Structure 1
Amino acid sequence: MSTREELRRQGEAMRARLFAPGSAGTQADDAATGLRDFLTETEFGIVWCRPGLALSDRMVCTLAALGCVQRPAALRRYVGAALNIGLDARVIQEVLIQIGIYAGFTASEEALETAAAVFAERGIEAPAQEARADSLETLSARGRELLLALHREGGDKGYAAPDNSVTGALYPVAIQYGYGEIWFRPGLERRSRVLCSVAAFTALRLEAQTRKFGQAALNLGVTRTEVIEAVIQTAPFSGFAPALNALAVLSEVLRAG
Structure 2
Amino acid sequence: MDRIEKSKEKYKQLFGNGMPAASATDPDFQDILSRFIFGEVFYQGNLNDKQRELITLVVLTTNQTLPQLKAHVVAALNVGLTPVEIKEAVYQCAPYIGFPKTLNAINEVNEVFKAKNIVLPIESKKTVDEDDRFEKGLSVQVKIFGEVIANMREIAPANQKHMQDYLSAFCFGDFYTREGLDLKTRELLTLCIVSSLGGAEGQVEAHVQGNENVGNDKETLITAITHCLPYMGFPRTLNALTCINEIIPEQE
Question: TM-score, normalised on structure 1?
Answer: 0.89
Q: Does 1:164 align with 2:160?
A: no
**What is the alpha-carbon distance in structure 2 between the residues aligned to residue 59 and residue 228 of structure 1?**
16
Question: Structure 2 matches for 1:1-257, cutoff 5 A?
Answer: 6-24=2-20, 27-126=21-120, 127-129=122-124, 134-136=129-131, 138-156=132-150, 160-165=152-157, 166-205=159-198, 206-255=200-249
Structure 2 unaligned spans of 5+: none
1:39–1:248 distance in 2 versus 1, CA, 3 Å:
same
Q: 1:13 to 1:156 in 2, by over 3 A?
A: farther
Q: Report the CA distance between 1:150 and its aligned residue.
A: 0.1
Aligned partners of 2:3 and 2:126: how far apart in 1?
47
Q: Where in structure 1 are there 5+ consecutive unaligned residues?
A: none
Tell me the SS of whatever aligns to 2:43.
coil
Return the alpha-carbon distance in structure 2 between the equivalents of residues 31 and 149 of structure 1: 50
CA contact (8 A) 2:144 2:211 kept: yes
Q: Secondary structure at the match of 1:185?
A: coil
**1:10–1:44 Cα contact (<8 Å) kept:** yes
- Contact 1:96/1:108 (CA < 8 Å) preserved in 2? yes
What is the CA–CA distance in structure 1 between the aligned matches of 2:144 and 2:71, rounded to whole Å? 32
C-alpha RMSD over aligned residues: 2.0
**Distance change (3 Å), C-alpha of 1:169 and 1:21:** same
Tell me if structure 2 keeps the 8 A contact 1:235–1:243.
yes
Letter of the 1:192 counterpart: T
The 1:228/1:156 distance shift into structure 2, 3 A limit, reads farther
Distance between the aligned counterparts of 1:234 and 1:74, measured in 2?
14
Please say if residues 143 and 176 of structure 1, whose CA atoms lie closer than 8 Å, have aligned partners that are also in contact: yes
CA drift at 1:240: 2.0
Match of 2:176, as an amino acid? W
Distance 1:237 1:102, change over 3 A: same
Using the aligned pairs only, state the percent identity.
Answer: 23
